[in-house]
Amino acid sequence: MNVFELLQSRRAIRNYENKEVEREKIERLLEAATLAPNDRMREPWSFFVIQGEAKTRYEQLAFEYLQERFPTKPHLVESSIKVVKQTPVMIAVTSDILPKEADSKDNEYAVCCAIHSMWLAAQELNLGFVWRTRGVGLVHDNRLHKFIGAPENKKMIGMVFIGYPDKKELEEEKNKKRTPFKEKTVWL
């Protein structure tokens, strides 16, 4: 697949087959991430792989968070937890915080690039992938930070969910429309 085909066919996939993701494939994704561009080669990313027993603990954490956040929506809590249960592997990705705000921002941008690289690599490896920040992503809740045991100088950027894609979802998501670049571009 060339880069344009890869970009065109990449999709957010949120449903997965009941099948483990091989360690080698997870490592390939992490390797792809570390190839991303980054300012002054600070390589500001760290990855926290959550699977197996750690994922069971994460489910409990997500359950507590969602119950607090949506006390009147038990169905939403239930369906969200089901998503976590059905996801074979999750990776929390952080960015190094530096004394200068501008440097920290650049680090965050680099980590976003790294996540996108993983996303494309997942596509190449026939894996489904989604970057989550809201809901079960827990990115904006400090509990996730504590859960992964990250030091204070790391900022949570994303939680990525990975698994072999549910074929139906893959098919449905195939032809998602994008606004043409002409409507988003000013030529000066």
Residues forming the site for ligand FMN (CB under 6 A): 11-12, 14, 130-135, 137, 173, 176
Residue pair 95/157 in contact (Cβ under 8 Å)? The answer is: yes
Nearer to ligand FMN, 5 or 27 (CB): 5
Query: Least CB distance from residue 83 to ligand FMN, whole Å?
Result: 9
Nearer Cβ to ligand FMN (88/187): 88
Radius of gyration of the chain from Cα atoms? Answer: 17
Which of 163, 162, 134 minimizes the C-alpha distance to 62?
A: 134
* Cβ closest to ligand FMN, residue 99 vs residue 166: 166
Least Cβ distance, residue 152 to ligand FMN (angstroms):
22
Tokens representing residue 129 in the block: 């992938």
Residue 23 Cβ, how far from ligand FMN at the closest point, in Å? Answer: 25
d(CA 96, CA 103): 9
Q: Cβ closer to ligand FMN: 137 or 163? A: 137
Q: What's the closest the beta carbon of residue 173 comes to ligand FMN, in angstroms?
A: 6
Residues 6+ apart with CB under 8 A from 17: 163, 164, 165, 166
